Amino acid sequence: MAARADLVLLLVALAFVVLALPRCGPRMPVLSPQRASWAETPGVVNPEVTGATLASTICKHGWTRTIRPPVIYTNDLKLKQMRAYRRRGPPSAYQEDHLISLELGGHPTDPRNLWPEPYPRAAVVDGIENELNAQVCSGKLGLEAAQRRESELKHTAG
């Protein structure tokens, strides 16, 4: 009878250890499926875009095409970042998006400025980026203020 009690006690202890182990050790942060992570994607600006260069950069029609990274680069980065963000589903469900958009002077290739943004949100945010670009180019909004608004939108709105 004592041996049976010892066996039961051992099994209970083993079950406790098995259940407790996953809760031990470093915890991965919870990443929103709709928002960019401050740690993974803080946003990086393009040093070529300043208040003095607006007319020859972001306010010049077609300029973003000249600096947009190749699809092979963004597709490869998207797969890596989907793993980092723990995104599920096919890569086609995400747009590898610039946190600070090219239209607002974001760095074109720095991985800290790119993240896998889910559709359909990505399409909605593209319109907002264009509106902010129009406000900057018309002088209604400063470049840094527009960049802050965009970063806030992508980091906090969900």
> What is the distance between the alpha carbons of residues 107 and 94, in angstroms, rounded to a whole number?
19
Helices within the chain (DSSP H only):
2-20, 63-67, 71-84, 121-137, 143-156
Helix axes 121-137, 143-156, angle to 10 degrees: 170
Confidence of residue 34 (pLDDT cuts 50, 70, 90): confident
| pTM recorded for the entire structure | 0.78
Condensed to tens digits (0 to 9), the pLDDT of residues 77-117 reads 999 999 999 988 999 999 999 999 999 999 999 999 999 99
Tokens of 87: 């995104």
Question: Which residues partner with 114 through β-bridges?
Answer: 98
Phi then psi dihedrals of residue 87, to 5 deg:
-80, 140
Q: What is the dihedral of CA 55, 57, 62, 68, to 10 degrees?
A: -170
Residue span of the structural domain in which 42 resides: 2-156
Q: Do 113 and 100 meet the contact criterion of CB atoms below 8 Å apart? A: yes
Q: Which amino acid is at 4?
A: R
Residue 2 has pLDDT above 70, yes or no: no
Q: State what percent of residues in the chain have pLDDT above 90.
A: 66
Which distant-in-sequence residues (6+ apart) come within 8 Å of 73 by Cβ? Answer: 109
**Nearest CA to 158 among 40, 29, 32?**
32
Q: Do 94 and 116 meet the contact criterion of CB atoms below 8 Å apart? A: yes
The pLDDT value given to residue 121: 84
The pLDDT value given to residue 6: 64
In total, how many domains does the chain have?
Answer: 1
Least confident span in 5-9, 51-55, 80-84, 104-108: 5-9
Length of the chain: 158
